[in-house]
Structure 1
Amino acid sequence: MAASPILTRAYKGKWALITGASAGIGVALAEELAAAGANLALTARRADRLEALAQRLQAQYGIQTRVIPADLADPKAPSLLYEATEGLGTPIDILVNNAGFGYLGEFQRSDRDFQRTMVDVNCAAVVDLTHRFLPRMIARRNGDILILASTAAYQPVAYMATYAATKVFDRYFAEALAEEVGRFGIRVSALCPGPTESEFGQVAGSRKEEKRKYQSAAEVARLGLEGLAQGKTWVIPYSGGRIQVFAQRFVPRRFITKAAEKMFRPETVK
């Protein structure tokens, strides 16, 4: 992979911690940062995938890597990640809060624990990790934080109610924090992709007849990281999403909500 000049200038020689790094956008983010010369601390539940990714990127780009298996559904995981990096003297310059998952289906029929865990991983872990790593970044007057949100963060989404709500949280959290810590030289950005090639649909339960065009995870990762390096507080990485979000300003919210209900309605719902 050819390195992005923007990312090379911003991140060469720095350390990045990427959550959810074993698949999809997480792998693509790791690839982009490695190509730019950043060293990587990779975390996710699947240690075997992390080890394979770390070995490949280290051999291909000559970077340093560290693998830290962890499940962010566990409240102790953020502390573990901090102690395995900053706690051992490795300053994290780029925190990538990528880990997350969704659910497509009727809320009333879903598993309660699954819904609660979604909130824990998509929101609580993001807050916990950011709160741990941010003070050191402020002390150094340098640091970047990327938070994975979604275009689902711009309107209520029936049958994905909890997921969309968590992404609203992530987006608002990132945008507010960006304004709060910018004076310390810290950049914070919400990456808001739409349909992306990843394992998200397998976990969420996407409809079999889904025919929307999917953007590559590599493109999403590159545009998101470049936007972060350029100081953008939010990035929608595809033109259709930007047009859609802009157009929503002129349409009643109820209309948008009803349109989303029809789009995401499962076959089992009549």
Structure 2
Amino acid sequence: MNIQGKWSLVTGASSGIGEQFAIQLAKQGSHLVLVARSKNKLDDLAAELERSYNIKVEVIAMDLTEASAPRELFQQCQLLKLEIELLVNNAGFATHGMFEQISGQRQHEEIMLNVAAVVNMTHLFLPDMLRRSSGTVINVSSTAGFQPLPYMAVYGATKAFVLSFTDALWWENRDRGVQFFALCPGSTDTDFFTVVGTDEASVGKKATPQQVVETALRSLAKKKIYTIPGSQNYLGAQLSRFVTRKLSLRIVGNMLRPK
């Protein structure tokens, strides 16, 4: 993947894994479209990256939980005449607790961001990549995508969707010049758990966003379909292959049970 002088679009770019994607891609000479709700954070990051790496950065502040947002974002890129070579669907969040006690509106927004936005963004930007026979789509899933998560039921289901969706599109496009790749991190040292509102959702040692993104880009260069950064995370993701479904649910449920 040669992205020097080409445009990459990163959602959820204001912090954590998204911010680190922006930094690592800028180091490779990619121009950037940075997307998140927080314009001030994006502006600060854009200024730093332009100054440090002599690249162009476009900032688009947008809430991707809104149904119309992906198309509005795509149209803005068209107006700016930007050809997106690399799309990183990173934006997402989780909820934690008993399903019926969590705000229905909040869980709806979780589905819109984690699932609908990923599907719609991919559907909008993929045709141009196919016309050029060149492009890459990175979808950020999670180790949560490998088994159901009691007390994080919607989050686990959304990340399972992202992983399945990405695998399927990898197969459809494997001979068409467009690469699909799923990044499946475990617990990572980001604002994720602050947004969730609890640290009980953190399992195992937290990786840094830099470690996660560096692993992702190395795996992508090796033409892998997906990667799980960290050996402990990889083993944990295989749990359901070696124990019964009920036992897997018991183990994960005990880990994530609200205090």
Give yes or no for the alignment of 1:190 onto 2:187.
no
Deviation at residue 209 of structure 1 after TM alignment? 9.9
Instruction: Specify which of 82, 85, 103 is matched with residue 77 of structure 2.
Output: 85
Q: Say whether the 8 Å CA contact 1:188–1:231 is kept in structure 2.
A: no
Q: Say whether the 8 Å CA contact 1:154–1:168 is kept in structure 2.
A: yes
Question: Which region of structure 1 is more displaced relative to structure 2, 246-255 or 203-212?
Answer: 203-212
Deviation at residue 227 of structure 1 after TM alignment? 1.9
The one-character-per-residue Cα deviations of 1:96-135 (angstroms, maximum 9, x if unpaired) are 0000000111111100000011000000010000000000
Taking a change above 3 Å as real, the CA distance of residues 157 and 211 of structure 1, as seen in their structure-2 partners, is: closer
Partner in structure 2 of residue 46 of structure 1: 38
SS at match of 1:183: coil
SS at match of 1:79: helix
SS at match of 1:48: helix
Question: Which region of structure 1 is more displaced relative to structure 2, 198-207 or 56-65?
Answer: 198-207
Aligned Cα root-mean-square deviation (Å)? 1.4
Q: What number of residue pairs does the alignment pair up?
A: 259
Instruction: Specify which of 15, 18, 21 is matched with residue 26 of structure 1.
Output: 18
Taking a change above 3 Å as real, the CA distance of residues 101 and 64 of structure 1, as seen in their structure-2 partners, is: same
Q: Say whether the 8 Å CA contact 1:12–1:38 is kept in structure 2.
A: yes
Q: Say whether the 8 Å CA contact 1:149–1:193 is kept in structure 2.
A: yes
Structure 1 residue identity aligned to 2:122: T
Give yes or no for the alignment of 1:133 onto 2:147.
no
Q: Say whether the 8 Å CA contact 1:26–1:98 is kept in structure 2.
A: yes
TM-score by length of 1: 0.92
Deviation at residue 144 of structure 1 after TM alignment? 0.3
Note the residue ranges of structure 1 that are not aligned, 5 or more in a row: 1-8
SS at match of 2:198: coil
Partner in structure 2 of residue 68 of structure 1: 60
Moved over 4 A (4+): 208-211
Note the residue ranges of structure 2 that are not aligned, 5 or more in a row: none
Deviation at residue 170 of structure 1 after TM alignment? 0.4
Partner in structure 2 of residue 12 of structure 1: 4
Deviation at residue 225 of structure 1 after TM alignment? 2.3
Partner in structure 2 of residue 5 of structure 1: none
Give yes or no for the alignment of 1:123 onto 2:115.
yes
Partner in structure 2 of residue 173 of structure 1: 165
Q: Say whether the 8 Å CA contact 1:86–1:92 is kept in structure 2.
A: no
Taking a change above 3 Å as real, the CA distance of residues 55 and 190 of structure 1, as seen in their structure-2 partners, is: same
TM-score by length of 2: 0.96
Partner in structure 2 of residue 241 of structure 1: 233
Question: Which region of structure 1 is more displaced relative to structure 2, 204-213 or 104-113?
Answer: 204-213
Partners of 1:257 and 1:113 in 2: how far apart?
26
Instruction: Specify which of 240, 254, 258 is matched with residue 250 of structure 2.
Output: 258
The one-character-per-residue Cα deviations of 1:139-192 (angstroms, maximum 9, x if unpaired) are 000000000100000111111000000000000001110110111111101100
Q: Say whether the 8 Å CA contact 2:22–2:32 is kept in structure 1.
A: yes
Partner in structure 2 of residue 6 of structure 1: none
Aligned sequence identity (%): 39
Give yes or no for the alignment of 1:36 onto 2:12.
no
Taking a change above 3 Å as real, the CA distance of residues 226 and 114 of structure 1, as seen in their structure-2 partners, is: same
Deviation at residue 246 of structure 1 after TM alignment? 3.3
SS at match of 2:170: helix
